[in-house]
Every structure is written in structure tokens, then in C-alpha cells.
């Protein structure tokens, strides 16, 4: 049987990784897929630029649309990123009757509902394992391996840049800005790091995971997103004193009232496995009603790690080329007409425990005022740390750990505490997740 001909859009890090993996493991991949897989055409913006892979035998062009329109190309692999030109190219490929493999999380999170609907009309597949957590096969696990479960919640460290920064802050007592600069020098963070450190990248990935977990449409615009730029080394140290570690976590939880979708810095008990995922590594913890918690860990980025997921999707597509489109694994795990448009809860209606750091006058009665306000909002205190002020007459640092509470009540309590004359500045709030129920 003739090899399946693939058109590749993008010859950057992941594109070259894909070329290399297919070349090195071609025989093994053909054994798994039942047919060979060959990249015959590839598009790159600058053809004069040196490549990190052998492109011999691949027809190169700077016209991506020419690859998409090539009648001999059966599968298009989109690795150019962004959600404008990529959307146009993917829609054109689908309209041309070609299957698509993509590593583009922004494209899927923002336009996946449209792309999947068009793909169903045309009887083709859109595969996107590499869009979440790089080489970790978490989408396949969630969509297929856990298909017998009702997913209750999931939580993920799904951005390696943020995890690297928080790890360095904890291990070496460094400031955020200092570690961010190093992450940029090492290539972990872009010159404009907003997508990583403010949680937008993680929100794209959480959108995809939640849709597959709960059988809901992709709802990126409803994800609450908070970054790590305001985390201080003092917060990291105080969390450690309390037995916690701070991670930039994406959390999706199914509740009777709707679905929680949130990305924010989070204290996690240090005994949890996911709290010990360090550096640029990723991990996703998924709680199913039958299997309980399962953890998926590995490289969240990198040339061959991500290429591993791209090639796995190519194998799936090749296996399914002759199958009835109606009997393929659905894009979002549930049949398209069975998706439930559940409400996404605003952050004010979610529930979590909280870490509070504040600066208060060092005199009798101040802590009583604070606890009275918390009590009136029915917020119970789990632990208290009070640090002696460095000098007489300067404010003392107080750390409070609360039990779980509705966010709206906590917002009210924080506003009232900040209004006290004995409190200096604003209250720092970091949410806490025990990840055990």
C-alpha cells in the first residue's frame, strides 16, 4: 500500500522535530499505522534559513496555501501557530477534504467548535493531541482511556515557563523578575512573556481539557485567568512553612451549579505528587469517579516531545482513513449532538480555600478585628503565622490560611479588612487546592 502523503505547514522547532521523528522511526511508525507516512511538501516563511532537520526529498515552498491545495497531500499538519492565518489554512484544508493534525492550542480553544463542525460536514478528522502538554498523551487518556468514568475535576501544571519560574523562586529564593529574565535567556519565555506568565497559554489548554472531560463546547472566553507576576519570594517561603508549594494551576471542576474554569497561582500540599513537578515539566491530575485520581507527567514542550504527539495523531489519522466517519472517536470525546452546554461559573461563585498575607499594626486587638470580619462572612481559619516586625513601630506580617469558602464572601472580607486603619496596603490572596476530593 502506498505511503500517506503529508503536507507540513511550519518548519520551526516542532516542525523539524516531526520531520526527524518520522525519518528516524519510519519503519516502526508504518508497522503501527499499517502504511508508511511521508512528508512530501512543507511550507516555511523563510526558505533561506538553516534548518535543524534533513528536508531532503521534501518539496519546500513559502506558500502555505499551495501545500493545502496540493491534490496529492492527504493530511495537513499545521504548526505555524496563531489563530488567524492558521484558521484560514485549516478551514481550507478541511474544505479540500484533507485531514488535519495541529499543535495549535489557541486555534483549537478559540475556533475548535467551528473547525470540528466543518470537519464533520466534510467527513475528515482534526487531531490535536500536541496542543496540550506537549508530549504527554493526556488528551488520548482523557478522551479514550477514561471513557468509562464520569470526570469530577482536573488540575494541571500546563505551562512550563511559569513552572520553571516558581521552581527557581522556591529553590533559590529569587525574585520573579530575576527568574523571568533568565527564562527568556534560556529560551523558555518569549521576549513578550504575557501569554505564559499571565496564564493565557494555560487557559487555552484548560479550555480543551475541560471540553473533553465534561462534554461541553469549547468556552475559552469564560476561563478566569490570573498570572504569577505578583507572586513574591516571601509568599513562596511562607507557603513552604505551611507545608505547601505554589504552582500556576489550571483547574476545571464539575459542580451541581455548573463548571469551574480557572487558571491562577495555587497553594498545593507539598505531599501531593503534582506539587513536586518542577522546572519546565508539565503534569495533569484527573479525578474520575471509577478510577480515582490519575496523574500524567512529562515534557510539556520541546522539538521531539511535541513531535511525538504530532506523529501519534498522524498514526491515528492513517488508521482511520478508511473508516466510516460516523464511527470515529469524536473530537471532544462525546458525540457532537450530545454535548451539554453547561453554565460556566463566574469566579465569584467558585469555592476554594485561601492563603492571605497582610501587613498589620503590631498591637493587641488587631488580629481579633480580622478574625471577626472573617467570622461574619462564615470563613473559618485553618492556620495563622505572625512574623515579628523588623523594627519597633513597623507593621507585622500576618499569614492566614482559611478553609474553603465561596469567592464572593472572601472578596467582601478582603475589602473590609483592607479598609481597617490598622492594615497597611492591600491583602495578598492566593487560592488553595488540596486536590483530594
**53-65: burial string, b at 16+ Cβ within 10 Å, e else:** bebeebeebeebe
With contact defined as beta carbons under 8 Å apart, do 11 and 42 qualify?
Answer: yes
C-alpha cell at 310: 504530532
How far, in Å, CA of 146 to CA of 140, rounded?
Answer: 9
Q: Which of 110, 205, 247, 287 is catalytic?
A: 205
* Bridge partner list, 372: none
How far, in Å, CA of 112 to CA of 216, rounded?
Answer: 12
How far, in Å, CA of 19 to CA of 300, rounded?
Answer: 19
**Residue 413 φ/ψ, nearest 5 degrees:** -65, -45
How far, in Å, CA of 87 to CA of 96, rounded?
Answer: 14
DSSP structure class, residue 394: S
With contact defined as beta carbons under 8 Å apart, do 404 and 350 qualify?
Answer: no
Q: Where are the alpha helices (DSSP H) in 191-256?
A: 194-197, 200-214, 233-241
**Segment holding 244, helix H or strand E:** strand 244-255
How far, in Å, CA of 315 to CA of 23, rounded?
Answer: 14
Cα distances (angstroms) measured from residue 433 to each of 190, 246, 325, 407, 436: 29, 10, 41, 13, 8
How far, in Å, CA of 304 to CA of 310, rounded?
Answer: 9
Total number of residues shown for the chain: 437
How far, in Å, CA of 180 to CA of 39, rounded?
Answer: 37
With contact defined as beta carbons under 8 Å apart, do 58 and 51 qualify?
Answer: no
Could you confirm whether 205 is annotated as catalytic? yes
| Active-site annotation, residues | 205
Amino acid at each position: 500500500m502506498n505511503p500517506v502523503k503529508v503536507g507540513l505547514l511550519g518548519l520551526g522547532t516542532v516542525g523539524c522535530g516531526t520531520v526527524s521523528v518520522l525519518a528516524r522511526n519510519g519503519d516502526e511508525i508504518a508497522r503501527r499505522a499499517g502504511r508508511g507516512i511521508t512528508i512530501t511538501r512543507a511550507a516555511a516563511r523563510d526558505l533561506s534559513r538553516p534548518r535543524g532537520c534533513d528536508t531532503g526529498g521534501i518539496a519546500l515552498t513559502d506558500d502555505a496555501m499551495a501545500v493545502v491545495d496540493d491534490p496529492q497531500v492527504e493530511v495537513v499538519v499545521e504548526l505555524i501557530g496563531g489563530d488567524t492565518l492558521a484558521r484560514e489554512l485549516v478551514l481550507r484544508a478541511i474544505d479540500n477534504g484533507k485531514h488535519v493534525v495541529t499543535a495549535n492550542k489557541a486555534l483549537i480553544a478559540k475556533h475548535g467548535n467551528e473547525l470540528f463542525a466543518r470537519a464533520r460536514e466534510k467527513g475528515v478528522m482534526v487531531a490535536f493531541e500536541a496542543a496540550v502538554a506537549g508530549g504527554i498523551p493526556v488528551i488520548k487518556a482523557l478522551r479514550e482511556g477514561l471513557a468509562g468514568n464520569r470526570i469530577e475535576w482536573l488540575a494541571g501544571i500546563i505551562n512550563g515557563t511559569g513552572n520553571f519560574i516558581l521552581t527557581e523562586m522556591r529553590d533559590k529564593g529569587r525574585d520573579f523578575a530575576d527568574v523571568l529574565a533568565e527564562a527568556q535567556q534560556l529560551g523558555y519565555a518569549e521576549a513578550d512573556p504575557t501569554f505564559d506568565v499571565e496564564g493565557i497559554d494555560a487557559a487555552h489548554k484548560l479550555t480543551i481539557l475541560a471540553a473533553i472531560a465534561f462534554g461541553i463546547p469549547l468556552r475559552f472566553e469564560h476561563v478566569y485567568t490570573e498570572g504569577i507576576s505578583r507572586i513574591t519570594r516571601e509568599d513562596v517561603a511562607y507557603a513552604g512553612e505551611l507545608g505547601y508549594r505554589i504552582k500556576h494551576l489550571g483547574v476545571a471542576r464539575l459542580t451541581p451549579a455548573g463548571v469551574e474554569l480557572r487558571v491562577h497561582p495555587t497553594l498545593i500540599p507539598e505531599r501531593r505528587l503534582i506539587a513536586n513537578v518542577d522546572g519546565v515539566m508539565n503534569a495533569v491530575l484527573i479525578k474520575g469517579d471509577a478510577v480515582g485520581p490519575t496523574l500524567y507527567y512529562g515534557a510539556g514542550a520541546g522539538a521531539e516531545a511535541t513531535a511525538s504527539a504530532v506523529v501519534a495523531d498522524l498514526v491515528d489519522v492513517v488508521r482511520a482513513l478508511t473508516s466510516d466517519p460516523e464511527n470515529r472517536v469524536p473530537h471532544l470525546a462525546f458525540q457532537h449532538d450530545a454535548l451539554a452546554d453547561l453554565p460556566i461559573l463566574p469566579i465569584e461563585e467558585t469555592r476554594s480555600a485561601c492563603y492571605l498575607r497582610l501587613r498589620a499594626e503590631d498591637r493587641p486587638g488587631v488580629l481579633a478585628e480580622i478574625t471577626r470580619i472573617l467570622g461574619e462572612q462564615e470563613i473559618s481559619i485553618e492556620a495563622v503565622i505572625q512574623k515579628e516586625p523588623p523594627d519597633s513601630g513597623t507593621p507585622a506580617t500576618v499569614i492566614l490560611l482559611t478553609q474553603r469558602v465561596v469567592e464572593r464572601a472572601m472578596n467582601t472580607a478582603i475589602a473590609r479588612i483592607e479598609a481597617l486603619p490598622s492594615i497597611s496596603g492591600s491583602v495578598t490572596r492566593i487560592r488553595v487546592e488540596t486536590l483530594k476530593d
